[in-house]
């Protein structure tokens, strides 16, 4: 099964935090032994990373992944559309699974 598609709207210069619960066959996936990573780029083929999300798996047995983008990071980005994806992976990339992909619409901030 391919990655789920979910488009994000992030306000420039604000805190973005989302927690996802990962399930396989309607059962919470135990994420013990996995790490998570997510990046945003201006195009899917771009070699340049526009932003790296901070990803954590606080309690692997509950199948939840926390994804964050700090205000400083989003403020340093130009407003507009980006592409992102989220992967889980094991040591040395022995297993890599893309869970989520989509666009990020970074809305321009006004208050500085």
Q: Which domains does the chain have, with CATH numbers?
A: 4-107 (2.60.40.10)
| DSSP H helical ranges for 2-95 | 71-76
**Token representation of residue 107:** 């809305």
**Token representation of residue 60:** 């692997």
pTM: 0.92
Residue-level length of the chain = 112
Residue 87 near residue 22, CB atoms below 8 Å:
no
CA 38-82-7 angle, 5° bins? 75
* Confidence class for position 109, pLDDT limits 50, 70, 90: confident
**Token representation of residue 53:** 């999300």
Residue 78 near residue 109, CB atoms below 8 Å:
no
Q: What is the pLDDT of residues 13-57, one digit of tens each?
A: 999 999 999 998 999 999 999 999 999 999 999 999 999 999 999
């Amino acid at each position: 099964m391919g990655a789920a598609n979910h488009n994000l709207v992030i306000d420039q210069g604000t805190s973005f935090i989302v927690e996802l619960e990962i399930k396989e066959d309607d059962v919470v996936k135990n994420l013990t032994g996995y790490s998570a990573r997510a990046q945003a780029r201006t195009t899917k083929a771009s070699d340049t990373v526009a932003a790296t999300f901070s990803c954590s798996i606080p309690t692997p047995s509950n199948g939840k992944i926390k994804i964050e983008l700090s205000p400083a990071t989003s403020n340093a980005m130009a407003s507009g559309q980006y592409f992102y994806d989220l992967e889980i992976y094991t040591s040395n990339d022995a297993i890599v699974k893309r869970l989520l992909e989509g666009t990020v619409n970074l809305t321009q901030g006004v208050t500085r």
